[in-house]
Amino acid sequence: MGSLGAVLKHPDDFYPLLKLKMAVRHAEKQIPPEPHWGFCYSMLHKVSRSFGLVIQQLGTDLRNAVCIFYLVLRALDTVEDDTSIPTDVKVPILVAFHRHVYDRNWHFSCGTKEYKVLMDQFHLVSTAFLELGKGYQEAIEDITKRMGAGMAKFICKEVETIDDYDEYCHYVAGLVGLGLSKLFHASGKEDLAPDTLSNSMGLFLQKTNIIRDYLEDINEIPKSRMFWPREIWSKYVNKLEDLKYEENSVKAVQCLNDMVTNALNHVEDCLKYMSALQDPAIFRFCAIPQIMAIGTLALCYNNIEVFRGVVKMRRGLTAKVIDRTNKMADIYGAFYDFSCMMKPKINKNDPNAAKTLSRVEAIQKACLDSGLLNRRKSYIIQSEPKYSSTMIIILFIILAIIFAYLSANRQNN
């Protein structure tokens, strides 16, 4: 439930963290009794606990469709990510994956940990898929077919240009945005969003992940995964892996800032997409990951730690985002606050400073022009409150009681 030190430093994180912990436990108890659906929802919580939590608020039919859509694409991604699979084996699987979802007996052993379990038991996902409505099945099949073909293309192709980068991100994430829009429309709860906006929703999330995961991807064994486009990184170093070496720290940060600035190009499209959503549950489902993305970019920008370890939002702030994102005012407020966090970090000597500043100010203007900023309470940027030692001690005692209760409850279960 967040580290004790972080909670003591940010005591106002405590209640959202507690609510998040309770919501996670509740979601884990909502596993359907049927073996195949039970497997799917259990696996969803294992591969993405936050996604497994947010998805719970959707209506049953749409929730089931989104769950299967996510697991199918996660399985497809597992095949693509497994660098131990020979290309001549991997490519045919990627291209034919949309047909495998109709086969109750198909599975393929690859990946590690929970992803290996997903692949070994994929026939259970197929069984659940075949129980979805026809409209949902067709949307999932279409996106899986297009994504598999795109992934196969980039198995044999490097990400050289920014256009290549956008194309790759379209295949692995933009299509997810298109697919979700199709599922929302098939549910009867939303109008079909324009493809350009749906694509940007996916690209913004994917580019954030690619930026954040640089070190993990470059250190992948047996072969590095390289998604940063040569057109950007070659301006700073001779080889992409050179960015992780301490002697290249200045150039690495400049390259990082270039990548973040590129990702910010999609923000206005994302705001337009979310402002058109009508169903409250779908709205929250879409909004929370987008706020997490802009928050992650704000932390990553101008931060050498991206090349040293993992940079991510503290769990307490994540809990606040999940708890308090309910309307467009909350989205505009979060994007405005995180852009304000980023703006002072822009170094005038950075080669992309003018471009970054222009993008940040454009985001701030879009948020201000909404006229909604005064309708929300900022929880991202605020002065540090001063708490007495008594309050901190009381908080520590409450935490100890909660941890003791959860531990005892776990033993009883």
Please tell me which residue in 285, 307, 336, 338 is annotated as part of the active site: 285
As a residue count, the chain comes to 413
171 catalytic residue (yes or no): no
DSSP assignments along 312-379, one per residue: ---HHHHHHHHHH--SHHHHHHHHHHHHHHHGGG--TTSTTHHHHHHHHHHHHHHHHHTT-GGGS---
| Alpha-carbon distances of 318 from 86, 105, 321, 401, rounded to whole Å | 38, 39, 5, 23
What is the distance between the alpha carbons of residues 104 and 130, in angstroms, rounded to a whole number? 9
225 catalytic residue (yes or no): yes
Task: Name residue 250's amino acid.
Answer: V
| CB contact at 8 A, 20 and 54 | no
154 catalytic residue (yes or no): no
Task: Report residue 134 CA to chain centroid gap.
Answer: 28
Residue 306: count other Cβ atoms within 10 Å of its Cβ: 25
Please tell me which residue in 49, 104, 146, 225 is annotated as part of the active site: 225
| CB contact at 8 A, 30 and 52 | no
Three-class DSSP category at 34: coil
What is the distance between the alpha carbons of residues 193 and 278, in angstroms, rounded to a whole number? 12
Please tell me which residue in 41, 168, 273, 332 is annotated as part of the active site: 168
41 catalytic residue (yes or no): no
Helices (H) and strands (E) in the chain, counts: 21, 0
Please tell me which residue in 212, 284, 314, 376 is annotated as part of the active site: 212
The catalytic site residues sit at 168, 212, 225, 285
